[in-house]
Amino acid sequence: NGMLAAAAALLLLAAAGPGLGPGPGRADAERAQQDSLREELLLSPLPAGDVAATFQFRTLWDADLQRGAVSHYRLFPKALGRLVAALGVRELHLALTQGFWRTQAWGQPPLQAPAGAELWVWFQPTVTDVDKAWKELSNILSGIFCASLNFIDSTNTVTPMASFKPLGLANGTDHQLLRYAVLPREVVCTENLTPWKKLLPCGSKAGLAVLLKAERLFHSSYHSQAVHIRPICRDASCLAVSWELRQTLTVVFDTFAGGQEKKDWSLFKMFSRTLTDACPLASQSKVYVDISPKNKEKELLEVTPTPASVHEAVVQGERRTYAVYDLLSPLLFNTSRSLNVQLKWKRPQDSSELPIPVLHAQRYVSGYGLQTGQISTLIYNTHPYRAFPVILLETVPWYLRLYVHTLTIITKGKENKPSYIHYQPAQDRRRPHLLEMLIQLPANSITKITIQFERALLKWTEYTPDPNHGFYVGSSVLSALVPSVIAMKDVDVEQSPLFTSLFPSSDGSSYFVRLYTEPLLVNLPTPDFSMPYNVICLTCTVVAVCYGSFYNLLTRTFHVEEPSRGGLAKRLANIIRRFRGVPPL
Amino acid sequence: MAAAVPAVCWVRAATALLLGCCGAALASSVQDQAEQFFRSGHTNNWAVLVCTSRFWFNYRHVANTLSVYRSVKRLGIPDSHIVLMLADDMACNPRNPKPATVFSHKNMELNVYGDDVEVDYRSYEVTVENFLRVLTGRIPPSTPRSKRLLSDDRSNILIYMTGHGGNGFLKFQDSEEITNVELADAFEQMWQKRRYNELLFIIDTCQGASMYERFYSPNIMALASSQVGEDSLSHQPDLGIGVHLMDRYTFYVLEFLEEIHPASQTNMNDLFQVCPKSLCVSTPGHRTDLFERDPQNVLITDFFGSVRKVEITTETISLDRDLAGFESKLLKDELATEPLKYAEQLPVAQIIHQKPKQKDWHPPGGFILGLWALIIMVFFKTYGIKHMKHIF
């Protein structure tokens, strides 16, 4: 098979040889088309007056990273390319998030990530030891992104059996090649943003990335930055593979945190910068603003400067209208040298206009003490007449011992039996609990899933330096194909905006959504860490006083001592004392 | 004629003398240059900056470490040569009224966190074990490069530590301590493995001088913010942020370093005078007996800056524009025979009917094997070997 491939390659080369020989320009042009960059910013106003900004930078490379020694990296960052080639990675998704996306208040997120750090990876079938490759991968990524991903080990890694199907091209889905881990305690700050920005071809010097200033990005309700690497079809015939690297950053700016009373937004207010040019290496650089009218009325939002074009798309089951600013068109910077998109609300919103998302969930923990504890998850299906299934994936650390016999799923007062359950119990200090269920959600219902647990006592060296903060339980993952009212056409990936093409859609009647619930904070019984010192002091004192004196009493013999007359000095002293009237020595 | 000859002789003698003087001057200037070349024997610079305190009210320790980080980066040491360990995150702490900033001067004048910071060890990773592993180089093989101290015998290393300390120890994150004996032994291991050329150790804690009392390896210079029995005090609070922003010693060291530029000739004696008792309230101390050179000759930039050896050449090198030879080596991608497809995200029927994968059978080991061996041994001891023929 390898010989045939080599022979085919040689034949192709021989055929293309005379074409490649002369003309370094043509070779350059041919090579120049091998990778391309598209950048895009989507501004969507949220119901409560906040605004969400989603940046997407996509580098597409028409080369096969798995085969051959690729040594010339142009736009695709070498650090990630070498990683994919050396460790046999088929898909990599890493997200670092601060805050929580409030689905009920803000609507369905375009792309959500759980609080903390989340890493899930599909490996190639050629990888023999997946766990070893996983460990190496998390260590290398912790160095690249300045995050504590080296804490990912077998105690927080699971192998989901039904969720997290590959988002890229897949030959078969053997779930033993998948690993998923989440670190809910991970903090995201400028030191994670700095290497993320350095992976962009233009850095933070030109294009949309000039807006990424840490002081504004972290002063927000929700900040999520992610890296997605996957193989996709090179063209419509899908006979060759291209590697796609998407870097996404979603940030939600809050009116109250920003300290302003009026709800008008502009790029300058959000990022304290404006756009001056597009990245010279980008083939496409656009800003989209969501100006969809709510409830079929007149437009609510006024956008200045006037957009050059308007794009209509069906996104997540709704027809939406976007104002488009193309940074590469020369007309845009004709009037002013910088682009400052301003959003003004024409009239105030009232609460009846707030759209309710079709699927949303929440989770909370209850119970106190060592023995009683309960995790409850509520899943809401607000679709008026359609029912659909949802996969719930829960990863619970080993020190919360789940009682699976207490698992109850109740919908509309009746018990709801899941069509598929995969449960893997925890092993102390080795493996967490994994619970995966496929649940049918009836139309217009609330499903409550409860499971009880008890807390385990940890060894005193296993506590973190701040144990009174509590211990985190990672977010649960809900994957669902939500039916949409409007049929979605299969669109060409190259023509449509990036935010519509992350999840491959199979048919037009539903769209795939992945939601995360809140992480939980659980208090474990915390010992008093000064007790070992206290115990040692007390024990030594007791031993010294009681046993010591007992030992002395038992082992020493008593003799009567003759009072000696004393030496010369003593006799002289006694004489002096007799003169003084003081009793003698 | 007789008078001209001595004049010529005199002129010749004078020129000979002048030439001799010039030669001597040249020789001495060459010798000076040669001496200067050999004065500092290091070829690269490293910095290990450690903040050991956790919790919001220890904001000033993180600000201390970040201000030294800022000075060291400004004077030329790149991120790849700095190992920065911060035990807690102050910039994105929920209690920080200005996220992604750490200030060192009140009224929020100077943001030492900046926009281009790379923290190598964060939060729970800052432990005594990791610190000693970084110093001695005994790290697990999977550690990434940015977390390693890859110094050699020609490296000058700056080690800065701050936090809460006492007489002979420094507290790491409220849960463990490092003692001065351990630290001295770690430096001795570094010396024996030739991991440093010269080392500058600065510590800003209470009773900091006790930490350098036990050093016994050569080429170490140490500075501390207070003597044994004294406390190091903090500088000034900021009413907007609500905590003390910096410690006094590091504050004045930062002000001193702000005036240093990569070409300055300021030496260590000036650094020793940085914070007198009137400003610092505690008495800063220093130790130079283990150091070979005179502190007068040691430049600040020997430790805080970075050596760059630049060789200027005037010949031009032409790059080969013809890439034909290189192109022919590229393999063309082979095309698949049938179109590849994406996986279905939620294949309900497939999920419901999938069976759990049977794990590979492993022979029983350990406890079970021992138990069975015991049972069989007892059986045969009771009944004897000759009964085996009834079994088989």
pLDDT of residue A332 exceeding 90, the answer is: no
| pLDDT-wise least confident of A181-185, A502-506, B365-369 | A502-506
What DSSP string describes A62-105? -S-SSSS-----SSS-HHHHHHHHHHTEEEEEEEEEEE---HHH
pLDDT of residue A27 exceeding 50, the answer is: no
pLDDT of residue A296 exceeding 90, the answer is: no
Res B324: pLDDT: 54
CB-based contact B331 A189, cutoff 8 Å: no
- Please name the residue of chain B whose CA is at the shortest distance from the CA of residue A240: B335
Please indicate if any CB of chain B lies within 8 Å of the CB of A219. yes
Contact A39, A57 (CB under 8 A): yes
Residue-range domains of chain B with CATH: 40-304 (3.40.50.1460)
Contact B285, B224 (CB under 8 A): yes
| pLDDT-wise least confident of A355-359, B71-75, B118-122, B385-389 | B385-389
CB-based contact B324 A22, cutoff 8 Å: yes
The residue among A380 and B13 whose pLDDT is bigger is A380
Q: What are phi and psi of B189, to 5 degrees?
A: -60, -40
CB-based contact A17 B328, cutoff 8 Å: yes
Res A31: pLDDT: 46
Res A574: pLDDT: 87
pLDDT of residue A558 exceeding 60, the answer is: yes
The residue among B32 and B184 whose pLDDT is bigger is B184
DSSP 8-state secondary structure symbol assigned to residue A526: P
For range A558-568, the mean pLDDT: 80
For range B335-357, the mean pLDDT: 79
What percentage of residues in chain A have a pLDDT greater than 90? 55
For the whole model, what pTM was predicted? 0.83
The residue among B332 and A63 whose pLDDT is bigger is A63
pLDDT of residue B203 exceeding 60, the answer is: yes
Distance from the Cα of A469 to chain B's closest Cα (Å) equals 11
Look up residue A535 and give its two tokens: 């115990």
**Which candidate in B69, B345, B353, B354 is best for mutational testing of the A interface (most A CBs within 10 A)?**
B345
- Please name the residue of chain B whose CA is at the shortest distance from the CA of residue A20: B324
pLDDT of residue B288 exceeding 60, the answer is: yes
CB-based contact A189 B91, cutoff 8 Å: yes
**Is residue B164 among the annotated active site residues?**
yes
On chain B, the residues whose CB falls within 8 A of the CB of A258 are none
Active-site residue, from B61, B81, B105, B206: B206
On chain A, the residues whose CB falls within 8 A of the CB of B357 are 176
On chain B, the residues whose CB falls within 8 A of the CB of A194 are 115-118
CB-based contact A187 B92, cutoff 8 Å: yes
In sequence order, the 6+-apart residues with CB closer than 8 A to the CB of B314 are: none
**Is residue B206 among the annotated active site residues?**
yes
On chain B, the residues whose CB falls within 8 A of the CB of A140 are 142, 144
Residue A493 burial class via C-beta count within 10 angstroms: exposed 0-12, middle 13-18, buried 19 and up: middle
Residue range(s) of every CATH 2.60.40.740 domain in chain A: 359-490+503-522
pLDDT of residue A368 exceeding 90, the answer is: no
On chain A, the residues whose CB falls within 8 A of the CB of B70 are none
CB-based contact B340 A465, cutoff 8 Å: no
Please indicate if any CB of chain B lies within 8 Å of the CB of A8. yes
CB-based contact A479 B345, cutoff 8 Å: yes
**What is the distance between the alpha carbons of residues A121 and A138, in angstroms, rounded to a whole number?**
10
Q: Are strands B155-162 and B44-51 parallel, antiparallel or unpaired?
A: parallel
Q: Where does the pLDDT of residue A417 fall: very low under 50, low under 70, confident under 90, or very high at 90 and above?
A: very high
Q: What is the ipTM of this complex?
A: 0.84
Domain A359-490+503-522 has CATH 2.60.40.740: yes
pLDDT of residue A222 exceeding 80, the answer is: yes
Look up residue B49 and give its two tokens: 């900056």
On chain B, the residues whose CB falls within 8 A of the CB of A189 are 89, 91-92, 100
Residue with tokens 């990791």: B130
**What is the distance between the alpha carbons of residues B208 and B374, in angstroms, rounded to a whole number?**
61
Q: How many CB pairs lie under 8 A apart between chains A and B?
A: 176
**What is the distance between the alpha carbons of residues A112 and A110, in angstroms, rounded to a whole number?**
7
